[in-house]
A and B are shown apart, each in its own frame.
Chain A
Amino acid sequence: MALVGPSGCGKTTLMRIVAGIEIADSGNITIGSRNVTRLRSAERNVAMVFQNYALYPHLTVRENIAVPLAMRRLSTWQRLPLIGGIIPGSSGKRASIETDVIQAAESLGLGTLLDRRPGQLSGGQRQRVALARAIVRHPAAFLMDEPLSNLDAALRVQTRREIVDIHRRVGAATLYVTHDQSEALTMADRVAVMQAGKILQVASPEAIYHDPQDLRVATFIGSPRINTLSAQADSAGRVHVSDAPTGLHAEPGSLILAVRPEDLRLSPNGIPCVVEGIEFLGESLLLHVRQSSSGEPLVMRLPPELSRPAPGTDIFLAFDPKRALLFHTDGRRMPSRGHIGHAQELALV
């Protein structure tokens, strides 16, 4: 499960509440079937990977990975330096900790780095030590707070796959916080979109993209942003954009119509627009246009081999009504009934 939202929306706070680092004013937190709301962080059996990894700089890789095990399996006395070793039972426990540490380290390819300190490791290696420290104790849940944000682009894609792989192997519930929608969409089984302290929608990545229940979800997910057009439904429920019928139906009144850039097409009898600029992205072209009547800006994605209209040219845009989304003006999704019976795509106007 990925938690995605713009920075400052409260996703890190939510994760810390789940981890037990911060206290919720109200509400309950359950992990599995266990209510952990009143438990301390240490008792919740969750592991967390921090944005800056939070490795202990004075400990070696081996010692870093061993910390959560030592804290759980050894008593306070057994953890003391020098005396700790003589206390009965500690040597056996230490040996079992060592075995688990090496196993966790090997599974992440850290076998040769065990005696280094975090300061001697690269960003990617530190990242893996943080992961090893999390998986070593087989927690009930993993929490990951923007774990990839400090890696460079190439490493990010690689680590992304490693994390998915670990998740599949370990099988524990994972809460993954990110501001990067592509991470959320590619890695998660379910995505929660959060904004201004509220979770707006929880659904599969496909449903989040194609079937957002809130305008804010629709505009946050997808790049470039989804196009929004102000529209009206007349007394018969026919939806119009700039007085032109769209073939969609809704309750009478003002509403917002949203279409993704890749769902717009050039069509001789579409909405009249003026070209403002073109961006070449390699695999496609982005056409920035402005609607002639209302002045609303639109972006459309075109195949790159198409001939490029010059800025200032008048063009006409159309879309498939099946792919258009309707929202109330307050942002709630509106069921669009219009395309029932219109099996073929309808160009508007």
Chain B
Amino acid sequence: MDKPRERSFLADTPRLLALGLVGLLLLMPYIWMLSASLKPLDELFRASLSLWPERFHAVENYSRVFSQVPVFHYLWNGIVVCAGILFFQLLFAVPAGYALAKLRFPGRDIAFGLVMLGLLVPPHVPALPLYVTFSKLGLLNTYAALILPFTISVFAIFLFRQFFRALPDELIHAARLDGIGEFEIVWRIILPNSWPAATAFAIFSVVAHWNDLFWPLIVIEGQARATPALGVLYFRSDEAGDDFAALMAAAVIMTLPLVLAFLFAQRRFVEGIATTGLKG
């Protein structure tokens, strides 16, 4: 009843045209990236404005990336790191969020104050001492170095606390009357009732850490533990040189996984970022 009426296509044309034009402009980097990844190098150097290649060189470009760069290795590293980070973030933040939202215990207000304080500190601030510590412990170039600093997400604690507070107390009282312990309540009652918050946070976390360059650049050297972001960086400086065709092919390959995931679960992504954004 409240939805605006579907306008006639004609009346909607100016809006569609404006959005289409701006959208096309925004898509330019993608369009040219794809186009360049299909062309042979000499065609690129002629700087022709034609999007369609005269000679298809896609197979050569993409196979060059796959032969010179351990693409799947980078992607695997990215998955391990993102999954590891998310696992620990949930493991620590969900119980803490529950305790802060629903339980009375000494020091709760101080703990929540610390969470709010932590929200103000960008992750770049603790980077230097963490780097020194990891290097002293010989942890550089390990998954641990990539995962450990992000195991605690004050933002996740805050988000879950806000969400759990909105859950009815009756849910927890009923569970206690049924004889379920607090630990089980967290994982078997609270979390299953909090999927919107959990997926929203998961998407937020994965997008952030899949794209992160700052920290991997600090603690990783060489291919063994390099994330996709580092992989593109290495390929760009070492292998590709001025071979933009292959570089664009590498960029396409590395961008694809998350973009595909986004296109499949578009609504969830957008809602996830919107809810985490608005609460942060």
- Whether A and B touch (Cβ < 8 Å) is answered with yes
Docked Cα-Cα span, A150 to B1, in Å, equals 20
Q: Are B1 and A23 in contact (CB under 8 A)?
A: no
Whether, in the assembled complex, A13 has its beta carbon less than 8 Å from a beta carbon of chain B, the answer is: yes
Cβ-defined contact, B1 with A13, below 8 A: yes
Does A219 count as interface, using CB distance less than 8 angstroms? no
Asked if A12 lies at the interface with its beta carbon under 8 angstroms from chain B, I say yes
Inter-chain CA distance A267–B5, complex, in Å, is 59
* A11-69 at interface with B (beta carbon < 8 Å): 12-13, 22-23
Q: Which residue of A lies closest to B5 (CB)?
A: A23
Q: Determine the residue in chain A with the shortest Cβ distance to B1.
A: A13
Of all chain B residues, the one with the shortest Cβ separation from A12 is B1
**A23–B4 CA distance with the chains assembled, in angstroms:** 11
The answer for the CA separation of A230 and B1 in the assembled complex, in Å, is 38
Min C-beta distance of A8 to chain B, whole Å: 9
Complex Cα spacing A13 to B1, Å:
8
Chain B residues within 8 Å of A12, by CB: 1
For B1, the chain A residues whose CB sits under 8 A away are 12-13
Q: Is the interface of B mostly helix, strand, loop or mixed?
A: loop
User: Which A residues are in CB contact (< 8 Å) with B5?
Assistant: 22-23
Across-interface contacts of A23 in B (CB, < 8 A): 5
How far does the alpha carbon of A13 sit from the alpha carbon of B3 in the complex, in Å? 13
Instruction: Give chain A's interface residue range (CB within 8 Å of chain B).
Output: under 10
Q: Mark B124-152, 1 if CB is under 8 A from A, else 0.
A: 00000000000000000000000000000
Shortest CB-to-CB span from B2 to chain A, Å, is 10
Q: How far, in Å, is B3 (CB) from chain A's closest CB?
A: 11
Instruction: For A16, give the chain B residue with the smallest CB separation.
Output: B1
When chains A and B are docked, how far (Å) is the Cα of A148 from the Cα of B186? Answer: 43
Q: How far is the CA of A277 from the CA of B196 in the complex (A)?
A: 47
Residues of B within 8 A of A13 (CB): 1
Bound complex: CA of A12 vs CA of B1, how far in Å? 10
> Chain B, 1-29, contact with A by CB distance < 8 Å: what is the 0/1 string?
10001000000000000000000000000
Q: Distance in Å from the Cβ of A84 to the closest Cβ of chain B? A: 30
Give the residues from 1 to 59 in chain B that come closer than 8 angstroms, CB to CB, to chain A.
1, 5
The proximity string for A residues 187-215 relative to B, scoring 1 for CB distances below 8 Å and 0 otherwise, is 00000000000000000000000000000
CA distance A22 to B5 in the complex (A): 9
Interface of chain B residues 167 through 217 with chain A (CB within 8 A)? none
Binary B-proximity of A290-330 (CB < 8 A = 1, otherwise 0): 00000000000000000000000000000000000000000
Say how far B219's CB is from chain A's closest CB, in angstroms. Answer: 49
A13 to B5, CA, bound (A): 13
Interchain nearest-CB distance for B228 vs A (Å): 46
Within 8 A of B (CB), among A167-200: none
Complex: A274 Cα to B109 Cα, angstroms: 64
Chain A nearest CB from B144 CB (Å) reads: 51
Of chain B, the residue at the smallest CB distance from A22 is B5
What is the chain B residue whose CB lies nearest that of A10?
B1
Q: Which of chain B's residues has its CB closest to A13's CB?
A: B1
Q: How far is the CA of A166 from the CA of B1 in the complex (A)?
A: 30
Least distance between B4 CB and chain A CB atoms (Å):
10
- Nearest CB on B from A111, distance (A): 35
Q: How far is the CB of A336 from chain B (nearest CB, A)?
A: 40
Q: Mark B151-177, 1 if CB is under 8 A from A, else 0.
A: 000000000000000000000000000
CA distance A59 to B209 in the complex (A): 43
Nearest Cβ on chain A to B222's Cβ, whole angstroms: 57
Report the Cα distance A12→B5, complex, angstroms.
Answer: 16
Contacts of A22 in B (CB 8 A): 5
Chain B nearest Cβ from A87, distance in angstroms: 31
Q: Once bound together, how far apart are the Cα atoms of A22 and B3, in whole Å? A: 11
Whole-angstrom CA separation of A330 from B1 in the bound complex? 30
Nearest Cβ on chain B to A15's Cβ, whole angstroms: 12
Give min CB distance, A272 to chain B, whole Å.
48
A342 to B50, CA, bound (A): 99
CB distance from A257 to the nearest CB of B (A): 38
B254 nearest CB across to chain A (Å): 46
Instruction: Name the distance in Å between A88's Cβ and chain B's nearest Cβ.
Output: 36
Which B-chain residue is minimally distant from A8 (CB atoms)? Answer: B1
Least Cβ–Cβ distance between B8 and chain A, in angstroms: 13
- Within the complex, the shortest CB–CB distance from A221 to chain B, in Å, comes to 25
| Least distance between A37 CB and chain B CB atoms (Å) | 17
Please, how many angstroms separate the alpha-carbon atoms of A50 and B184 in the complex? 47
A22 to B1, CA, bound (A): 10
CA distance A39 to B5 in the complex (A): 18
Contact with B along A274-286 (1 / 0, CB 8 A): 0000000000000
Bound state CA distance, A12 and B2, in angstroms? 11
* CA gap between A71 and B1 in the complex, in Å: 27
Rounded to whole Å, the gap between the CB of A19 and the closest CB of chain B is 14
Q: How far is the CA of A23 from the CA of B8 in the complex (A)?
A: 14
Bound Cα distance from A23 to B5, whole angstroms: 9
Q: How far is the CA of A203 from the CA of B160 in the complex (A)?
A: 56
Chain A proximity of B102: nearest CB distance (Å) = 29
Query: Whole-angstrom distance from the CB of B11 to the nearest CB of chain A?
Result: 13
Question: In whole angstroms, what is the CA distance A171 to B5 when docked?
Answer: 35
Shortest Cβ gap from A296 to chain B (Å): 37
Distance (Å) between the CB of A124 and the closest chain B CB? 26
Q: Min CB distance, A86 to chain B, in Å?
A: 35
4 A-B pairs with least C-beta separation = A13-B1, A23-B5, A12-B1, A22-B5
A-B contact pairs, 4 of them (CB 8 A): A12-B1, A13-B1, A22-B5, A23-B5
By a beta-carbon cutoff of 8 Å, the part of chain B in contact with chain A is: 1, 5
